[in-house]
Amino acid sequence: MSNRLEHCLMQLADPITTLNLIACILILAISIWWSYRTESMIPLSIGLAFGFFGISHLANLLSVIDSYRVEFVFIRGFAYILVTIGLIALALDIIRRQKAEQDLRFSQEQFSDLSENAPIGILTTDKGGVITFANHRALTMLGLQGTEGIISSCNLLTYQPLAQTGFSALLEKTLHNGAVPATIEIEFPSPEGKPLQYRAHISPILKHTGASQDVAFGGGSTESPPHGGGQPDIIGGRVILDGVTDRRRAEKAFHLANKKLQLLSSITRHDVRNKIMVIQGYLELLSDHKEDKTLSDYLTQIEAAAASIEHQLEFTRFYESLGVNEPDWVSLEDCLSELDTSGVPIHHDCSGVLIYADPMLSKVFQNLYDNTLRHAEGAVRVQVTCKHRPSSLAIIWEDDGVGIPADQKELIFEYGYGKHTGFGLFFIREILSITGITISETGTPGEGVRFELLVPEGGFQNRYGQECLVDSI
């Protein structure tokens, strides 16, 4: 026992063995810490290898290595294997990191090139409204060109030209309340003092579970909020500025020209109608002198021509009103409730459905209802059904009348076809086509009409939630 103690003390006096043991312990501790911080097993494998080396050095100091020589050979061999695996994995990790850094630099260069050459202004701010990034176009649009060096001192919440437009208030609401992406049109003075119109799209930048991302939910989006631990933190705002001055000028000129054309059309139609009334008045006077058969035929043709002209004038009055107003979200339920259904009752399951269409959408259902009253002999019921399909919403109008013959299903939508005015269903198709809605007759002859309106994706929503729409079968 005394000999082993003396041998151990002699080994402790050997600085190399002692330093090796201390080094192995330190490397093991550092590797465990490194593995924990990086969430990687590579440092841990290298640390364990040095831990096995440390066991070997400790056994040498305690003079027990000779008693377990075979075991320690395996321990050292296993340690060398761990070191080799760890170093190879470390080398591969370094290569991957270098590749990732190269990709990141390339991505940053692409982003920089894209943002600097974009025809729109791009800005980001911190939560206090201070600009953290702005491309050249944004600085030019806001009259801040030449201030790139001090841009970080510019606060969009207090920048006076923006505060007067309502932009700053909306940005502040977005930064503090996490409001869904919002759009506002502002008028901003150019460096020359001329008013310019911009459309500003504002959205919060969120940090959720360590990652920054845009708000992609709310405001009609179909995406869900990110899952994770709690509510995401707002770390800043993103602003996209788009110049719409030329567009607004063109729209103003278009509306002015359209207004003049409508005025001209109205005056012309009024004057022509007055002349027709004169013609019809003289025809009425001449009706007492129809003894001559030839003269009577001529008068009949003149009357028919005058009636036809009046019919054409009525059509132009309806047609010129198409597309005058901007399309908007129209309640389907309101359109149906406005109808006088005393003749044939209407039943529907389209509560809350909103359609993006011309404001004259109510005329569509008025004409469909008139069509039922005039042509659906024996009809006692109208059913309107909304069916949500994968890429559209089908609005189905059905009655239990006599239906439409197979050879007339397309003809009924042509101008001038049928009785009465001859442009009711033609007018319907024109109104719907403004926003890409189609209509067709798909009923079975003898079993009633079935008009199917297909609203494209993005052209319908439900104020009570998308799931309220009836699924197709």
Distance linking the first and last C-alpha atoms of the chain: 91
156: how many CB neighbours lie within 10 A of its CB? 23
pLDDT digits (tens, 9 = 90+) for 330-383: 999 999 988 888 888 999 988 889 999 988 898 889 889 988 888 877 788 899
pLDDT of residue 216: 36
Give me the mean pLDDT over the 136-154 stretch. 72
Query: Which is more confident, 397 or 146?
Result: 397
**CATH of region 328-471:** 3.30.565.10
Domain ranges of the chain: 2-111, 119-243, 251-319, 328-471
Average per-residue pLDDT in the chain? 78
pLDDT at 170 over 70: yes
The reply to whether domains 119-243 and 328-471 share a CATH topology is no
Residue 214 pLDDT > 60: no
Among the four given CATH numbers 3.30.450.20, 3.20.20.140, 3.40.50.10490, 3.40.50.300, the one describing domain 119-243 = 3.30.450.20
Contact call for residues 49 and 35 (beta carbons, < 8 A): no
For 35-49, the DSSP string reads HHHHT-SHHHHHHHH
**What gap in Å lies between CA 156 and CA 130, rounded to an integer?**
6
- Cα–Cα dist 23/54, whole Å: 8
pLDDT per residue over 77-118, tens digit each? 777 777 777 777 778 888 888 898 998 888 888 888 888 888
Which of the four pLDDT bands, split at 50, 70 and 90, describes residue 468? very low
| 3-state SS, residue 270 | helix
Alpha helices by DSSP H, listed for 118-244, are 136-141, 160-163, 167-177
By the 8 A CB rule, do 164 and 144 touch? no
Residue 77, pLDDT score = 75
All residues at 6 or more sequence positions from 464 whose CB lies less than 8 Å from its CB, including other chains: 351, 352
